[in-house]
Structure 1
Amino acid sequence: MAQDSGDFASDYQFWLQKLSVWEQASAREVQQDTCLYLSQFQEFLRQMYEVLKEMDSNTVMERFPTIGQLLAKICCNPLILAYDESQKILIWCLCCLINKVPQNSGESEPNFWIWGLLSHMLSAFRYDVKEVGLFTEILGYEPVDYYPSLLKNMVLSLVSELRESHLNGFNTQSRKKIVLPASSVVSLWLRHLPSLERATLHLFEKLLSRERWCLCLRRIECCIKDSLLPQAACHPAIFRIVDEMFRFALLETDGAPQVLAVLQVFTRCFVEALEKENKQPKFTFKTYFPYASPSLTAVLSQHPEAIPHGHRLQPLLYTSQLLREAVEEETPESHRSSFESWFLFVHFGGWVDMVMKQLLRSEPEPPTALLWLLAFYYSPRDESQQRAQTVVELRAVFNRLMILLRSDPLSAMDLQAEAGESPSTDPTAPVCGQLVRRLFLNFLLWAPEGHKIAEEAVTRMARTDAITHEIIGFLNQTLYRWDHLCVEAPRSEKLARALLKELQAQV
């Protein structure tokens, strides 16, 4: 910057004077002069950005007190803005002037002025702007082709440069985000589908990496809320698009636990935003899930944690009945209905947790309906006969677990044998193995007898990296839900955190 500062100061004064002349943009000779000098002016814009990006906003205003006057003249010149490359660099320059951490109203005021200029740039072009006619003729465009292309390039540039607070490789001061008003973001997403798709894909990339998956879900929740997607999804059109992308992610990953967990956190954030926004609901819940059974949607949209402990069995049995009716009817639409019902069910992970807890209280015989719910959740593609066999195997595992529970002393080695055992299926089958491990992990956390052997049992269970990550994910989800539900289980929570810390140290 130092070697160019003298040249830049000289160029700065030259272009400030030139822009004052160009303010008479309606005169034909001025239009011709602008077109003649435009490539040189664009080079000056690039030079200005290279200078500005090295300073904070206060330093910029001290060094160049007329910078606002210069930028305002540029933003009001339709011939300059008609060239999308100039717009892009101008956006970078304006963003350099934003005070990322304003301390008072005096420092906030310039930010509003800058947002005003950006808004003007986005709304300035209409088909009746005559001043750019000469410019479009020189470029060889017809207005009907030029304006849509210009707006598309401008929006793509703005979305790209503001994403993750990076402006052409430049990190904003103190890695603070440049936050657009939520209403503006929603308006952009409603009118420009690619930007919504990119925002959703970018969120997936951030959250589904192995490193992120090892973080607590509270931090993942913060990332999701910062994306503004849950708030924007209160509009059914946006929700449907984001939800479709989750659908494809689940299909592509064969229902990976990481994707399920992120979907469930997103759904919780969405429902929270919906309840906050809709004091008087604008849309029924059915609007957001049009392909699922209305009765099932109504049941699952309730908060399971709000149901008193002594009254939880009945809604679970009813949920199981509705799902079985939707899934096991022999109709041409049954396959689609099966997936849609499962897709709706997995949005609300709290119901599966409730099934697990209810089973541990179901001595001497666990209800078939609850075992069926677990089999369906973990293996939705099974046919009715396969699922019935899984239910039989789960019942046998559960009964053996109850026998172990009554043994004295309880052995972690015996528990490990049960966790990897299945009477008639491959012991390494991922679905059955994962389901049994979830059941046993819930037992270890909730049963006082399980606390004594939990550390040894989990160490024996986590015999591969994949299973270790699976257990880390389970503990993360459990602690996240307990935190949200304000569950008062000090011993269980302390145990879960200790196990999580130990396993995270191993990966």
Structure 2
Amino acid sequence: MYVNSKPEQKKDVVRVSCCQTEQQKSSQTVLTSLGRHAPVCGFYKLEKMEAVSETDVQFWMAKAVNWGEATSCSALLDTSRHLGSLRSFLQQVLQGLQQMSSTSEAMKTFPFVGQFLGRLCWNPCVIADERSQRLLLRCLNCLYSAEPLNTVEQKANMWIKNMLCHLISEEEGSVAHATVKHAGLTPTRYHSEALQKVVSLMTEEVIKTCDGLPNTSARCSNGNIHAMSLACAALVTCPQISPLIGALLKHSMLCGSSCLNQEFIKEVSEALISKRLVLEDEAVVNLWCYSPTCLEGAAVSLLESVLSDHETMSQSLDKHVNGSLLPQASADHCHIFLTINELYRNVLTEIDENLAVRALIQVFTVCFLQRLTGQKSQDRLPLRAFFPHVMQSLLTPLLTAPSEVPREAWLDHLSWIRSLLQSVTENEEAGEDVRAYQAFFEAWFLLVQCGYWVDTAAELLVLAAPENAEPLLWLLTFFHHPTNRGHQRSQQTAVAREAWTHLRMLFLTRPPPPRHLSAVKELLSSSLSANLVLHLFSNFTIFSHGPVSIITEITDKVLTEAGVKRRALWILASIRCRLNSAATRDDKVNSRLRTLQDTLLQT
């Protein structure tokens, strides 16, 4: 390997011997790969390596000997606690080995390195840590001689290949395989089960700390809990550690004390968000209850995933939201809902016209209410607890789902909602009272959360008689344009009425009149009214009774810009969520919705 290269040669060029067995080639492939990814110059930029401290060598050799194969709780704890500093020492050793011109020189300069690396290669805790294992492999790579010059280097090569077989191979006949043959396990399973046994003992110890103790303060006085969480911080992505992580998080809930290491909490949260750690639902919720920061991180992660992948999310938004576990956790723990609600409220004030954000807030609320309704009545908190700032009179009409109201009563229900909201807006416009403005904002935000009633109003407008359209158009306008500065809402209501008139003619007349087609396109081009008109247009495409071919043709002609199509997909996502929760399923409507989504995604 490159340890035999001259200093002036490129260090990341690997020379491979031509005479190799198949098993040697497997190990050689790994060595070659490591060589490509570990150039001596460029990454570390070291001109000269300082000598490794003798004190450090003695310390780490003693640790490696004491740890052995880390099959006891104390050994695993101590190994985990020192993983970070061990990686730093291995990095220092690696940098020193990279300075050597040959294996012989490396072994003279670092006489301890063979025994040290060999012991670490058999420590399941070290091997379970991806970064530590990578450093071990790179150190072995530096000791390997592509063209051995003497017997010492030949024996070193054989030993290195045996270590590689132990670390990465399960081939029968390898040294590692022979060593654990008596256990009837492959090397990977041997280390996995050894680690599982130790973790199981530690998990039992955590569980026992909350049993049989007189009070909460006594339970939390056990400093070993903090030590265990600190030890787990470096290994949170190791699957075998998951039960211990769950037990530690459960302990934090039972004891109600901040006895867990903050680095551990941070690592667990980041691993969950990046999908590198899988925990039981209870453990995840315990984490959120323990750390508001982790809860906010999960809520932000959900928001970012929605904003970054509109094609996938817009087709299965309710499934994605439920999969985040946030709705269920919110139903079980009121403070979780309030935290998420506040976060999304702040986001909405910054980008209030973003339809993806509105769709997420609406779908999250629907999923939350479904989980809350599914609870036993004696366990369920009143709605007032979850919406403490909203006028009591608004909660029942808005939080009642359309599926719970007979279809023939929808118009009356929406008129009721309109009258309540109109009263709030009139109070806000009457003066400069801060409380009146807060009540106004909370009413509008609740309408955004319960956007299914706005979707219902837009659906009714497709076939509504002119005399019934006014309250529905008002709701739609207030939803998209809550403020009334400069009589903006009145102007937007007029725009909504104009758009509704053109859309009725466009979708209910055969063939579609070109004049109305052009008028709708022009209204959609306005930055002020685009979302309102698009909301109406999307509902006409789904609920009008015209042939699908005609609807698709109109859609292709009207929605020509990519940005408009993306916004339309989010409106369809909200409608789809409402239809999925409906008491009865209309297969024709759902089929048309899927067709429209596919059309918008393909064009």
Pick the TM interval, shorter chain.
Answer: 0.7 to 0.9
Superposed counterparts of 1:276-355, under 5 Å: 276-280=374-378, 282-329=380-427, 330-331=430-431, 332=433, 333-355=435-457
Asked if the contact 1:443/1:450 (under 8 Å) is kept, the reply is no
- The answer to whether the 8 A contact 1:327-1:341 is kept is no
Letter in 2 for 1:193: P
Measured in 1, the distance between the counterparts of 2:323 and 2:67 equals: 40
Match of 2:266 among 142, 150, 156: 156
Cα distance in 1, alignment partners of residues 353 and 484 from structure 2:
13
Deviates more, 1:388-397 or 1:457-466: 388-397
The alpha-carbon deviation at position 495 of structure 1 amounts to: 3.0
* SS class of match (2:377): coil
Q: Which runs of 5+ in 2 are unaligned?
A: 1-25, 31-61, 87-119, 130-166, 171-184, 206-221
Q: 1:219 to 1:386 in 2, by over 3 A?
A: closer
> 1:241-282 CA distances to partner (integer Å, 9 max, x unpaired)?
100111111112223100011111111111111111243353
**TM-score under structure 1 length normalisation:** 0.73
Judge conservation of contact 2:457–2:472 (CA < 8 Å) in 1: yes
Summarize the Cα distance change of 1:318–1:51 in structure 2 as closer, same or farther, 3 Å threshold: same
Which letter maps to 2:355? P
Instruction: Show CA shifts across 1:30-64 (max 9, x none).
Output: xxxx89x9859963599644533678998544357
Q: How far apart are 1:321 and its partner, in Å?
A: 0.4
Matched, 1:52 2:52: no
Tell me the equivalent position of 1:89: 234
Paired residues of 2:314 and 2:573 also in contact (CA < 8 A): yes
| 1:499 aligned residue | 596
Partner of 2:302: 203
Q: CA deviation at 1:351?
A: 0.4
Alpha-carbon deviation of 1:482? 2.3
Q: 1:380 aligns with which of 466, 472, 482?
A: 482
CA separation in 2, counterparts of 1:51 and 1:240?
Answer: 42
Deviations along 1:329-351, one digit per CA (max 9) or x if unpaired, are 11313332222111000111220
What aligned pairs does 1:74-473 form with structure 2 within 5 A after superposition?
Answer: 82=227, 86-92=231-237, 95-96=239-240, 114=244, 118=248, 151-166=261-276, 178-182=278-282, 184-209=283-308, 211=309, 213-215=310-312, 217=314, 219-234=316-331, 235-280=333-378, 282-329=380-427, 330-331=430-431, 332=433, 333-383=435-485, 385-403=487-505, 407-411=509-513, 413-421=514-522, 428-449=525-546, 451=548, 453-473=550-570
- Choose the corresponding residue for 1:15, options 67, 74, 80: 67
Q: TM-score scaled by structure 2?
A: 0.62
Q: Alpha carbons of 1:15 and 1:121: their partners in 2 closer, same or farther (altered >3 Å)?
A: farther
Q: CA deviation at 1:237?
A: 1.3
The equivalent of 2:190 in structure 1 is 62
How far apart are the structure 1 equivalents of 2:458 and 2:395?
21
Q: Structure 2 CA distance, aligned partners of 1:80 and 1:301?
A: 43
Q: CA deviation at 1:500?
A: 1.8
SS in structure 2 of the partner of residue 196 of structure 1: helix
CA distance in 2, matches of 1:307, 1:125: 44
Give 3-state SS (helix, strand or coil) of 2:421's partner: helix
Counterpart contact for 1:316–1:370, Cα < 8 Å: yes
* Cα displacement (A) at 1:287: 1.6
Superposed displacement of residue 365, structure 1: 3.0
Decide whether the 8 Å contact of 1:328 with 1:334 is kept in 2.
no
Query: How far apart in 2 are the matches of 1:414 and 1:377?
Result: 28
Give, in whole Å, the separation in 2 of the partners of 1:2 and 1:312: 71
The structural deviation recorded for 1:328 is 1.8
Contact 1:445/1:451 (8 A) holds in 2:
no
Residue 221 of structure 1 contacts residue 269 of structure 1 at CA under 8 Å; is this kept in 2?
yes
Cα distance in 2 for residues equivalent to 1:258 and 1:237: 25
Choose 1 or 2 for highest CA Rg: 2
Q: Is the 8 A contact 1:346 1:377 kept in 2?
A: yes
Is the CA contact 1:214–1:473 (under 8 Å) kept in the aligned structure 2? no
Structure 1, 48-57 or 260-269: larger mean CA deviation: 48-57
CA distance in structure 2 between the aligned counterparts of 1:404 and 1:41, rounded to whole angstroms? 68
Query: In the superposition, relative to structure 1, how do residues 215 and 190 fare at CA in structure 2: closer, same or farther (>3 Å)?
Result: same
Change (3 A) 1:21 1:295: closer
Describe the SS at the equivalent of 2:261: helix
Quote how far apart the aligned CAs of 1:441 are: 3.0
Aligned to 1:170: none
Structure 1 window deviating more from structure 2 (427-436 vs 83-92): it is: 83-92
C-alpha distance in structure 1 between counterparts of 2:121 and 2:425, whole Å: 62
**Using a 3 Å threshold, how does the CA distance of structure 1 residues 21 and 257 change in structure 2: closer, same or farther?**
closer
- The RMSD of aligned alpha carbons is 4.3
For 1:15 and 1:293, the matched residues in 2 are separated by 63
Tell me, in whole angstroms, the C-alpha distance in 2 between the residues paired with 1:462 and 1:347. Answer: 27
How many residue pairs match? The answer is 439
Offset, 1:408: 4.5
